[in-house]
Amino acid sequence: MGTTAEGRRHAAKIIRRLARAYPDARCSLDFRNPLELAIATILSAQCTDKRVNLVTPNVFAKYPTAADYATAPLEELEKDIQSTGFYRNKAKSIKGFCQGLVEEHGGMVPRDLDALVKLPGIGRKTANVILGTAYGIATGVVVDTHVTRLSRRMDLTKKKDAVKIERDLMDLVPQKEWIAFSHRMILHGRNVCAARKPLCGECTVADVCPRIGVGQ
């Protein structure tokens, strides 16, 4: 439907249904501060949040500050996060990110999108997660694999690129809803609208969803 008046009406129905179904949706990563959320989000790439939450208590206890990550031997950090997969790349990202925090931001996670995405290991999606979930700042819509799949399936976008999908969603979804909408879409993707066998009979938006690509 695109970002037309009809598309916005369609999106509004989905937003309302998801809000009723998941009124308390939140980030499923465990964290106590913005730094911990940033580290957990980096670790969550190609890994379940459940697995990340099993690993991070020991990691957070061992590395309480950005300086601790920045000065940690890379091989030791790799070992500490190994079970999350792709641990070499993740360790480099974490170390580089934290070195940037120490050198440029006094060890604190900035509240600015442009500042965040300039740091190693932080793309727009991770920056949106940090700003929205840790600081309550709506800078965009988090577009992960769930949001990508559901947005296309629900005909909220026809794009395949995450940045272009986000632009469409930012145009369709009111800014005050961006943070909650992201959490709700992710939760709905995990619980109901799975990639291979979506539970359309249990779906709160079934009657307004065109189910693009389902069963093909």
Distance of alpha carbon 87 from alpha carbon 7, whole angstroms: 41
In the residue annotation, 49 being an active-site residue is answered as no
Beta-carbon contacts of residue 10 (< 8 Å; ≥ 6 apart)? 1, 155, 156, 208
Distance of alpha carbon 114 from alpha carbon 98, whole angstroms: 16
Q: Return the ∠ at Cα 174 (arms to 178 and 207), rounded to 5°.
A: 90
Report which DSSP code applies to 110.
P
Determine which one of 125, 158, 171, 197 is catalytic.
125
In the residue annotation, 144 being an active-site residue is answered as yes
Determine which one of 30, 68, 144, 171 is catalytic.
144
Residue 171 DSSP SS3: helix
Distance of alpha carbon 193 from alpha carbon 147, whole angstroms: 10
Largest alpha-carbon pair distance within the chain? 55
Segment (H or E) for 141: none
- The label of the residue with tokens 């604190």 reads 108
Active site residues: 125, 144
